[in-house]
Amino acid sequence: MSNGRGSWGSQLGFILAAAGSAIGLGNIWRFPYMTGQNGGAAFLIVYLVLVFTIGISAMLAEIVIGRAAQRNPVGAFAVLKGGLWPLVGFMGIAAGFIILSFYSVVAGWTIAYIFKSFTGLATISDPKVLGEMFGKFISDPVQPLIYHAIFMILTVAIVIGGVSGGIEKWCKVLMPALFLILLVLIARAVTLPGAGKGLAFYLKPDFSKLNAKVIHDALSQAFFSLSLGMGAMITYGSYLSKNTNLPHAALSVTFLDTLVAFLAGLVIMPAVFAFGFNPAAGPGLTFITLPAVFSKMPGGMFWAALFFVLLLIAALTSSISLLEVVVAYFVDEKGMSRKTAAIVFGTIIFLLGIPSSLSLGVWSNFKIMGKGFLDLMDYISSNILLPTGGIFITLFVGWAITERAKAEATNNGKIQFAWEGLWIIICKFVAPIAIAWILISGIM
Ligand code: PHE
């Protein structure tokens, strides 16, 4: 591309990079514990419905906005329409800051667990011991901060390297590897004695468990997991060339992300029940359940280390997209160098993550609106900012730039896709109304 912003090597390169952004801790850490807290299969079904209606439409909307404008989220709204629209981009940048601050803390845990894999972690199957170990680690005032720092340094270093080189190459190897190891783990988990109860919990819906909170959590999980509502896909879409098939890309990314989350649940849920853990245990669920699974595998240490390495890389391919949103804005609009922007904002985000980490230990008594700091950051960004961003992004495509968006999605009429009409209807009415309704009823 002649504007010097860099671009993806190919359509596959984009799909891999965007799927790399989508697939991460959201699938393997957040999705299983959300499912566990929200009653299992009923949550899964609501989640799937939301992903393949609102989620996929918002995905295409973001990619379309990005490629049409070839800019960061703020600049994109400014060049395509102007007015107050760039505020949506600013909200996205704020969400990027907040999400990355606690994302990096949790990603740091995966680094620690790589090391723990070699020191006996994969030999323990007692839920009490694993729970205590996890609790002791995350509540330590120093250790998790060191790993948080290491993770931010890695993220900053990759973002300095630019979009097409590093990101694409990593994703090409990582995705298939992650997929394969999940299959191995599923084979182990579902054959554990007592796994059947977990499968039933995960796959046999009990609709009496549905309420406004479950639906709100499913929506926020969909936006978080698909990297939507804050302009990550606008930013990645802005590096796309004009002949890419956007509907196909949106569909592929949505499908891959959902598949990985579903598979992660298929590992965690059976294991949770087989070992007698509490499915509603919260954010520690993956970290206390998986080691128990490894302990029942030949070569458990090897599988544990391999798994946490893959999870770390998956987290990195997501965190770089979070930081990229912030960096792209300051590079495009404020003329900062990529390097300066990455280092300055990486540092600020690191600092913002410190209270999140401490809220699990020494600051655990400090609560705002009944939530610890990490929980609060997660709630504000995932449950409020991302869905709100989703309302405005779909409204923008549905009403403000309708014809331009259709032309962009079809490469000026060169390609067709069966769900074009549906997409516009969802962007115009269904998504904004449904999201607003879910937000309001979920918050009350
Ligand atoms: N989708 C990522 C994950 O599931 C997190 C993320 C959210 C990344 C929003 C970018 C934007 O881990």
Q: Residue 396 phi/psi, 5° resolution?
A: -60, -50
Average pLDDT (38-46) is 97
CA of 25 relative to ligand 1 center, distance in Å: 8
Report DSSP state, residue 165. I
- Decide: 21 in ligand 1 pocket, CB within 6 A: yes
For residues 185-212, one letter each, b for 16 or more C-beta atoms within 10 angstroms of the residue's C-beta and e for the rest, the string is: bbebbbebeebeebbebbeebeeeebee
Residue 180: which residues within 8 A CB-CB, separation 6 or more?
none
Q: What is the pLDDT of residue 89?
A: 97
Average pLDDT (265-275) is 96
Q: Residue 371 phi/psi, 5° resolution?
A: -120, 145
Average pLDDT (157-181) is 80
Q: Residue 84 phi/psi, 5° resolution?
A: -85, -5
CA of 27 relative to ligand 1 center, distance in Å: 9
Is the per-residue pLDDT at 111 higher than 50?
yes
Measured by CA distance, the residue closest to atom 11 of ligand 1 is: 227
Q: Which of 49-53, 313-317, 354-358 has the lowest mean pLDDT?
A: 313-317
- 115, 98, 105: which is closest to 305 by C-alpha? 115
Q: What is the pLDDT of residue 1?
A: 38
Separation between Cα atoms, residue 400 and residue 416, nearest integer Å: 22
Separation between Cα atoms, residue 322 and residue 236, nearest integer Å: 10
- Which atom of ligand 1 approaches the CA of 321 most closely? 10
Q: What is the pLDDT of residues 322-340, one digit of tens each?
A: 999 999 999 999 999 999 9
- Decide: 27 in ligand 1 pocket, CB within 6 A: yes
CA of 311 relative to ligand 1 center, distance in Å: 13
Is the per-residue pLDDT at 217 higher than 80?
yes
Three-state SS at 171: helix
Q: Mean of the per-residue pLDDT values for the chain?
A: 94
Band of the pLDDT at 166, cuts 50, 70, 90? Answer: low
Ligand 1: residue of 104, 105, 224 to mutate (most ligand atoms within 8 A of CB) is: 224
Q: Which amino acid is at 366?
A: F
Residues pairing with 368 in the sheet:
371
Ligand 1: residue of 321, 378, 385, 393 to mutate (most ligand atoms within 8 A of CB) is: 321
Most confident of the following: 5-9, 167-171, 422-426: 422-426
CA of 193 relative to ligand 1 center, distance in Å: 34
Q: What is the pLDDT of residues 356-413, one digit of tens each?
A: 999 999 999 999 988 999 999 999 999 999 999 999 999 999 999 999 999 999 999 9
Band of the pLDDT at 4, cuts 50, 70, 90? Answer: low
Residue keyed to tokens 């990229």:
324
Q: What is the pLDDT of residue 169?
A: 74
**How long is the chain?**
444
Q: What is the pLDDT of residue 2?
A: 40
- Name the pTM for this structure: 0.96
Cα–Cα distances in Å, from 20 out to 25, 201, 225, 297?
11, 29, 11, 28
Cα–Cα distances in Å, from 240 out to 2, 90, 150?
12, 22, 31
- Decide: 37 in ligand 1 pocket, CB within 6 A: no
Is the per-residue pLDDT at 440 higher than 80?
yes
What distance lies between CA 30 and its chain's CA centroid? 8
CA of 128 relative to ligand 1 center, distance in Å: 31
Query: Structure tokens of 353?
Result: 């993550």
CA of 320 relative to ligand 1 center, distance in Å: 10
Q: Residue 368 phi/psi, 5° resolution?
A: -120, 130
Average pLDDT (231-260) is 94
Report DSSP state, residue 430. I
Residue 152: which residues within 8 A CB-CB, separation 6 or more?
104, 346, 347, 349, 350, 353
Cα–Cα distances in Å, from 248 out to 14, 29, 140?
11, 27, 46
Average pLDDT (419-438) is 98
% of the chain exceeding 70 in pLDDT:
98
Measured by CA distance, the residue closest to atom 10 of ligand 1 is: 227
